[in-house]
Structure 1
Amino acid sequence: MSAVIAASSQGRLLLGVLLSALVLGGCASPPLPQTRVTLMPDEDGHVGAVSVTSSAGRQAIDQGFAEVTVAGPGQAPTAAQSVAQPLFEQQHRQVLAAQPSPPKTFVLNFRSDSMELTPQSKALLPEVLDAARQRMPTEISVFGHADASGTPSYNLDLSGQRARKVAGLLQRLDPKLRINVEFFGDTVPLVPSRPGKSEPRNRRAEVLIL
């Protein structure tokens, strides 16, 4: 059987397939697969939301350590039920231990109309490098952004220069790092602003370490 799971906001999922057998007259029927979905808070304690959908219905989960079960093919998801966190962690200790580490993200800011990092962001580079080395082998992406103070074409070019600048700084510290570079100009602002407005928080490069 299958269940479609749509996630939004933050949070983590534990998806388990459970097997149950119905014994009648001394004969066991074929195992009936069940799908159980549990929503867990992320590392910072934030809880997002998921929607568990089968051919027979849909059920939302928006509370931490709440779970929904789909009993089998053609069955609707159950109502969400809360599970005590200590009990949940005890029951699923091995599964939780096998979960990959969540991605690590760093935001580095730049001076206005420049590829020069702010002093605070320069000071973050050793921490970024340490996080990357702890996860080796890993995939690293740098996403460049600009505020809306220039023209769209100028901002796109500037965001690309910023992304390449950060990638170069990290590879100078560790040449073994393999880094993917992408840039978006002023199209993905951290803080919405009108065209032509300078916004320091949008002058940034985001480093994603998987």
Structure 2
Amino acid sequence: MGRMPWRAAALLCAAALLSACSASPTRVTLLPDRSGAVGAVMVGNTHGQVGLDEAYGRAEADVASAPKRMQTGSREAFETRHRGLLDAQPEPPVSFVLNFLFDSMQLTPESRQMLPTVLDTVRRRLPTEVTVFGYADSAGAADYNLRLSADRARAVAALLRGIDPELPVQLDWFGDRSPLVPTAPGVPEPRNRRAEILIL
């Protein structure tokens, strides 16, 4: 009777060891970002580590030994092997900047010309989520600029909801606190009179 717990423990240890030894190794592939830039990554465990710093560089690791670098792959081979996973990825977020006339919620002529592209992007991505950030330059008082930036964000949201009244649009506004172009207080700057639209 006293030996049963020991035997049970031994069987459990053996099962865990067999499970660990038979587990599939972890494989890591370093991918470039969408612009083609490549970073670096360290793959490590208690037995050691190996670095990857080239596109489609590969490493393999398991619980019993140090990670090892494998032959560098190719984009074509990676995409063929992982086509289902790649096709399931969401599109990357898209952002637009619309500018406003001085002390106004009216868009500049250049930004009005961008509107069809913005609206078409939202339509194409439905269902989607959109965030609109409103800003002002520092020409007015801080509290006035905050209200103006809120009104600008709401005006752009209203344009977007013209596509779909149920479109989820989050709003945020910053007044003159987050300028695209830093200026002294009281200085008008056309590039700071803006709304930024983030489309997920």
TM-score normalised by length of structure 1:
0.69
Q: Which runs of 5+ in 1 are unaligned?
A: 1-26
Larger Cα-atom Rg: 2
What's the offset of the Cα at 1:107?
Answer: 0.9
- 1:1-210 aligned within 5 A: 29-42=21-34, 45=35, 47=37, 49=39, 65-67=55-57, 69=59, 71-72=61-62, 83-210=73-200
What's the offset of the Cα at 1:102?
Answer: 0.7
What's the offset of the Cα at 1:115?
Answer: 1.0
What's the offset of the Cα at 1:178?
Answer: 2.5
CA change 1:88–1:170 in 2 (3 A) is same
Which whole-Å CA distance do the structure 2 matches of 1:53 and 1:187 have between them?
A: 41
What's the offset of the Cα at 1:91?
Answer: 3.0
Q: Is the 8 A contact 2:129 2:169 kept in 1?
A: yes
CA change 1:55–1:206 in 2 (3 A) is farther
Q: Which residue identity lines up with residue 114 of structure 1 in the other structure? A: S
Sequence identity percentage: 44
Q: Is the 8 A contact 1:55 1:74 kept in 2?
A: no
What's the offset of the Cα at 1:108?
Answer: 0.6
What's the offset of the Cα at 1:106?
Answer: 1.2
Deviations 1:35-64 (Å, cap 9, x if unpaired)? 52523232xx26374655767679685x6x
Q: Is the 8 A contact 2:45 2:67 kept in 1?
A: no
CA change 1:55–1:177 in 2 (3 A) is same
Which whole-Å CA distance do the structure 1 matches of 2:98 and 2:136 have between them?
A: 12
Q: Is the 8 A contact 2:21 2:64 kept in 1?
A: no
What's the offset of the Cα at 1:149?
Answer: 2.2
Q: Which residue identity lines up with residue 34 of structure 1 in the other structure? A: T
Q: CA RMSD in A?
A: 3.3
Give secondary structure in 1 for the equivalent of 2:116: helix
CA change 1:53–1:142 in 2 (3 A) is farther
Q: Which residue identity lines up with residue 101 of structure 1 in the other structure? A: E
What's the offset of the Cα at 1:100?
Answer: 0.8
The answer for the alignment partner of 1:7 in structure 2 is: none
Q: Which runs of 5+ in 2 are unaligned?
A: 1-18
What's the offset of the Cα at 1:110?
Answer: 0.5
Give secondary structure in 1 for the equivalent of 2:186: coil
CA change 1:30–1:100 in 2 (3 A) is same
CA change 1:82–1:117 in 2 (3 A) is farther
CA change 1:208–1:201 in 2 (3 A) is same
What's the offset of the Cα at 1:192?
Answer: 2.7
Q: Is the 8 A contact 2:56 2:75 kept in 1?
A: no
Which whole-Å CA distance do the structure 2 matches of 1:51 and 1:141 have between them?
A: 32
The answer for the alignment partner of 1:12 in structure 2 is: none
Aligned residues: 180
Give secondary structure in 1 for the equivalent of 2:76: helix
